[in-house]
Structure 1
Amino acid sequence: MDVGTIDCGLHARFWSFNGPTGTMTRQLVLLTDGGGEADAGGQRLAIAAPALLWLGDMKPGRLRLEAGATGLRAQIGDDTLVEAIGDEAHSVALRYLVDRDFTLSLAGHAEALGVIERCLSAAIAERRQPQEASALLLSALLRIVLVSMLRVSGGRESLPGIGERMSLLQRFRQLVEMNFRNHWQVARYADALGVTPDRLHAICTDGIGKSPKALVSERLAREAMLRLERSSLTIQQLGHSLGFSDPAHFSSFFRKMTGTPPGRYRRAVIDARADHGRAVHVPSFAEWP
């Protein structure tokens, strides 16, 4: 996450982002004074202080700020965003939020404005003089910013495109985040949502193109991959932490989902880290719908 200040200038200023040769990032602009607009993917969004601009589609674009505008600007990569989102019950609502382009007026939200400004300023200080667990601190600061954004937006009900079916899909994904380690059956998810298993199946396949069972399995496999890459637990301990009482069952599940046994996957990650010419695979934010 790269963060910088927007200092008062005598002339309008311009920034381009997500060009063909650059890293794809999400853009955040906290405007404390002045105004401007962003053009991303053909969509134009105006912003007038105090306000926040979030560009989550990662499309190429340009930001223009008027003379005298002040605030802070951040470019946020996938790795930091994944850590900031986490896997709590509200993580799904945060994900719906960050995948969109929007502006949030912070007029009347002085407390939220102060929190976001302090977090971004702390991120600048940390980037200038990084210390132990710097990445963890930056993701924690970003999580506070995202939750503040969610609160100002009024939660998932105010997000664009959230109808009854989308709301049910979002609630299902929240339940998955809370219970995928408990290996709930699809019928139990449907019962918790107050719908039939057939309706839940239709909502998932229409909205995402995957069945509820596939979504739960993919979420479980994604967590297993992350833990194999980042944890020192044995394969048996790791499987048990994910709700598998039988190590053979965990190995069979992981191989079915990824095409590779868990032990071989972990060795490949270790080898990739030792060889700086090869990238270590970390499941991206987009890999679980």
Structure 2
Amino acid sequence: MTGSDTFIPGCALYGELESDTALARLRVGTISAHCDLHNCAMQETAARGWLRLALVLGGEVTACFDAAALVCPAPALVVVPPDTHHRLAFSADASGSTLSVPAWAIDALLDGLGGDGLRPALARAAVYPLVDATLAAHGLPAHFAAITQESVWAAPARDAASSAHLGLILAGVARLHAARERSGPARGHDDALFLRFRQLIEAHYRSQAGVAFYAARLGLTRSQLTALCRRAAGQPPLAVIHARLVAEAKHRLLFSAASVAAIGHALGFRDPAYFSRFFARATGAAPARWRRLHAARG
């Protein structure tokens, strides 16, 4: 079967094939519930007739749009326009909210708001890395939480309240889009370099390569790589590298029967005690205890 012949199912909701519920206005969920259902990954799909948003507040997300794959640590906002082929994968410790809105509801809302200026921001798939100040400025967690609450209430005017919060979320998307457009080629260069950095981490994180190794591969000095990571992710490069190691360790602790020592060795830690200290510093619990706690929750 050729790539052009590949069947990509259309989905109405996260993790659910299309049903006869197309007139439902909003679908809300949590990333942790999605991970419980799908082992942190979503099959490739075309969100036929639905706008999808994912607000990632913990862990990291890998978003694949057509041939491009973007890896972004939390906090981040993923925007998937209707009918866009995509696949999302979340780290085992990912948290946050998902929101799916039928395209006709978006059109009606924007028509009512006179929101032609919002449409370009919703027409292109994107991953927006955020920092805490950006989250606070746009109020995204509060608006996602409010829509979730309205979805389970039988309160008067809940449609109006949900529409108001949705409008504010879309305004936040438009502002993030505008800021990216204003930054122009410089931001595009940063995005490309940071993506290359994440790809190098994916290839080499098990080797315990240090910041100098990655900087040299990118043709940067250590200070230039540090500045790049702070602009792109709000973190120094070592934190980005360590986050990938911790995410992989969590995944193996949850989804394999390997011993803690074996997992540490596979991730480049020759000393099991050092691996345990490293993991505990990042998560607040030693690997064996973290595994027991999360296995009990599952």
TM-score (norm 1): 0.49
Select the structure that is richer in helix. Answer: 2
TM-score (norm 2): 0.48
